[in-house]
A and B are shown apart, each in its own frame.
Chain A
Amino acid sequence: MPDLIELRSVSFSYESGRVLSDVSLSIKPKDYVVLLGANGSGKTTLLKVAIGLLRPTSGTALLFGRQASDPRARELVGYVPQRAVISSRLPATVLEVVLAGRAARRKFGGFSRAERELAMRALERVGMAEFANRRIGELSGGQQQRVLIARALASDPQLLILDEPTAGVDRDSQIRFAQVLRGLNRDGVAIVIVAHDLGAVGRDVRRVLALHQGHIDEISLEEAKERVGMFVEDHPGHEVAG
């Protein structure tokens, strides 16, 4: 099986300057990776290049062995974008948001009963099934984040990518969120989280990549803890550095 993500000597520049310089990395099946970096270090840009939303200025970005910009390559990717809280005026139920994750599976028509059942199972998996008929904007930030994970899961992904998933989310929700990801990874889903700290997933991750001034390094978990700190799940609310 090819690497899920493979970047070969990728560079990327905006008009304002270079953000990524000669970055190479690979993500394997069942990996659990955190990509760390300070605000503005280019984490989200790297992620968007990896999933084909941005074309690299130079180098090659492959997704499941295909060019990352190939829509077929993205069918096996579940993506949870970085976002502010969803507006309470968005006229969509939780179930509709999750069903949207299956939109690309068929070109025409509405959603079938089987797809609704799949979406409900994804909601059950993140503990949000009872909210299926609520308007998405009525939920808290942590609950919305779990719904967005369910949307990514509804397409049966082999690779789940989350961009700053716990930004602005309370600690209890972060811990609940970490438990959901742990279960998914045990079931064989590779996980890549982009963050500026380890958060509640610190005890689960197996690889840590650090992005600094456009370059990427793989660092040990211990080194990552020293740099950015983590929450300890057994003692919610207690933050440990190093």
Chain B
Amino acid sequence: MTFIRYFWPALIAAAVVGAAAPAIGTFLVQRRLSLIGDGVGHIALAGVAIGLWLKISPLAAALGFSVLGAVGIDRLRRRAPDESDMALALFFYGSIAVAVVVASRTGNFNVNLFGFLFGQVLTTTRAELLTIGILGAFVIAVVSLLYRGLLASAIDEEAATVSGVPVTILNIVLMVLGAVTVGVGMQVVGVLLVAALLVLPVGIARNLVRSFRGTMLVASGVGAASALIGLFVSNAANTAPSGTIVLVVSSLFVISDGVRRARVISAQRELEEPQHA
């Protein structure tokens, strides 16, 4: 109870990020953009370093850089799909190099940047919680509002385009929402691990339910529950919260994959039984 009394902002922040990240991750995974969160995280770190240097909010700077970076990545992927690998590598590693150089030059490398790399959820202030809450609600509201088009694009981009869905605009919205989620999530699990919350709960849900809507809802629930369980375990075991949260969600993924495999084997046996009878 003492933990809850002192760290309730951290618990709420973790639950919000845990629920919002898989909601957007469901669409990213289906579009084979699972690792985009990782890449945008690199760019967000450059934003954090520059924000600390300019003495403006690191979160706001990270959000700005993430959104611009995500839109840039989307354009690169579309304009030169054959060469996008190299261009993206330049984008990602160039960003992290900027972060390291700027932070080392301004003396923020050890003190401040470390917190954004691996998360600093336990020190979440009420003001940060408000920002996280507003941005988390924004992500979920936009996904709910644009659900029709996002679903059609995720299932079949070409057919969605022909039927009149504004796929190009929705792609940009999706990347921006992904970037906002990374910006918010870095407070909880850090830029190096935020992609795990975007992707792994979706993998768990996909192993357990059939529908797209069900996958999104279960993934959000699993994400929020994993974040809370991870925080309680980290408190009891005296381990780093971010790593513990990601280990919890990774363990759940392994279990869910076992359940899926068991179902497949069971279904195969049912099919084979009449032949042996």
Residues of A within 8 A of B (CB): 51-53, 71-72, 74-75, 77-81, 83, 89-93, 96-97, 99-104, 106-111, 133-135, 148, 151-152, 155
Contacts and interface: CB of A to CB of B under 8 A. Distances in A.
A109 B215 contact: no
B209 A91 contact: yes
A164 B6 CA distance: 63
A74 B163 CA distance: 6
Interface in B140-181: 144-149, 151-152, 155-156, 158-166
B161 to A, nearest CB: 7
Contacts, number: 98
Nearest to B202: A91
Contacts of B212: 91-93, 96
A107 B149 contact: yes
B155 A90 contact: yes
Given A104-B149, A109-B148, A133-B210, A96 B155 contact: yes
A91 B206 contact: yes
Contact of A79 (B148, B159, B166, B213): B159
Contacts of B30: 90-91
9 contacts: A52-B162, A74-B163, A74-B164, A97-B155, A99-B151, A100-B160, A103-B149, A103-B163, A109-B148
Given A79-B163, A100-B156, A133-B210, 18 more contacts: A52-B162, A77-B163, A78-B163, A79-B159, A79-B162, A83-B156, A89-B206, A91-B26, A91-B215, A93-B211, A100-B159, A101-B152, A101-B159, A103-B148, A104-B163, A109-B145, A109-B147, A110-B144
Interface of B: 26, 30, 144-149, 151-152, 155-156, 158-166, 205-206, 209-215
A96 B163 contact: no
Identify the 6 closest CB pairs spanning chains A and B, nearest first.
A103-B152, A104-B164, A100-B152, A91-B215, A79-B162, A103-B148
A97 to B, nearest CB: 6
A92 B164 contact: no
B162 A96 contact: no
A95 to B, nearest CB: 8
Contacts of B155: 90, 92, 96-97, 100
Given A91-B205, A96-B155, A97-B155, A110 B148 contact: yes
